[in-house]
A and B are shown apart, each in its own frame.
Chain A
Amino acid sequence: SQKIEQNSEALNIQEGKTATLTCNYTNYSPAYLQWYRQDPGRGPVFLLLIRENEKEKRKERLKVTFDTTLKQSLFHITASQPADSATYLCALALWGGSQGNLIFGKGTKLSVKP
């Protein structure tokens, strides 16, 4: 079965640095990958989506890359701020699956220290 792993449970960085989070998947290439942010006690909030035929997507200080050879997606936050502290979840959608069925990683808890 398809599996998705986020290598680090936690990542601590200094304010102003670039945070890089990793998401690896096994088996088949997904139709697309999504990244979500989740704050304590709240539901995940969508950040970015990248499709199988795309290499990179950007949104303000966020960047996502997708390498189907390595079976990996990287999520970058540049010029990180303490307000970026949260858990970041990677999710993939399988080909032939519906939009409502996502497989999530367990998340990486990012802490940005001032």
Chain B
Amino acid sequence: KAGVTQTPRYLIKTRGQQVTLSCSPISGHRSVSWYQQTPGQGLQFLFEYFSETQRNKGNFPGRFSGRQFSNSRSEMNVSTLELGDSALYLCASSPPNLAGGSDTQYFGPGTRLTVL
């Protein structure tokens, strides 16, 4: 099976612009989560989608949004970029959480966003 893929891998934007990042989960995985990773704050949860519905949301401003499509692919959008949004954005997918099943998350390689 192919792993989680994220595009693009690297992105450079300027303040005030908006950006859209894409994530394709492992085939059969319906849960997709997004995380922001910075040296100062570490990995922080942004939001989780399951069957096209946002199931959980972290403590990020409304500039951060996401969506999930019927094929489980997900996108996240950041509007009005700020310098502090520079980070590695990671997407993770999870298999169906059956009784006794795995609660593992499988991470993609991330998108490195630099805001100038």
Q: Which residues of A contact B22 (CB under 8 A)?
A: none
- Counting contact residues on chain A (CB < 8 A from B), the size range is 20 to 34
Please pick, from B32, B41, B56, B107, the residue contacting A44 in the complex, using a CB distance under 8 A: B107
Cβ of B21 < 8 Å from any Cβ of A?
no
Query: For residues 34 through 64 of chain A, which have their beta carbon under 8 Å from a beta carbon of chain B?
Result: 34, 36, 41-46, 49
- Given A43-B108, A44-B90: A101 and B103 within 8 A (CB)? no
A25–B47 CA distance with the chains assembled, in angstroms: 22
Question: Are the CB atoms of B103 and A93 closer together than 8 Å?
Answer: yes
* Residues in B neighbouring A99, C-beta threshold 8 A: 31, 94, 97, 103, 105
- A32 near B43 with CB under 8 A, answer no
Known: A98-B56, A100-B92. A89 touches B109 (CB 8 A): no
Interface secondary structure of A, over-half rule = loop
Please tell me the size bucket of the interface on B.
20 to 34
Stretch at the interface among A11-19, A66-74, A102-110: A102-110
- B34-45: CB near A (< 8 Å → 1, else 0) gives 010000011111
Asked whether A105 lies within 8 Å of B48 as measured between CB atoms, the reply is no
Shortest beta-carbon distance from B35 to chain A in Å: 8
Interchain CA distance A49-B103 in the complex, whole Å: 8
Q: Hey, which bits of chain B sit against chain A, CB under 8 A?
A: 4, 31-33, 35, 41-45, 48, 50, 55-56, 58, 90, 92, 94, 97, 102-110
Spell out A's residues near B (CB within 8 Å): 32, 34, 36, 41-46, 49, 89, 91, 93, 97-107
Top-7 shortest CB links A-B: A43-B107, A100-B48, A106-B42, A100-B33, A104-B43, A101-B56, A46-B104
Provide a sorted-by-A list of 22 A–B residue pairs whose CB atoms are within 8 angstroms: A42-B109, A42-B110, A43-B92, A44-B43, A44-B90, A44-B107, A46-B106, A89-B42, A99-B105, A100-B31, A100-B33, A100-B56, A101-B45, A101-B48, A101-B55, A101-B58, A102-B33, A102-B105, A103-B45, A104-B42, A105-B42, A106-B41
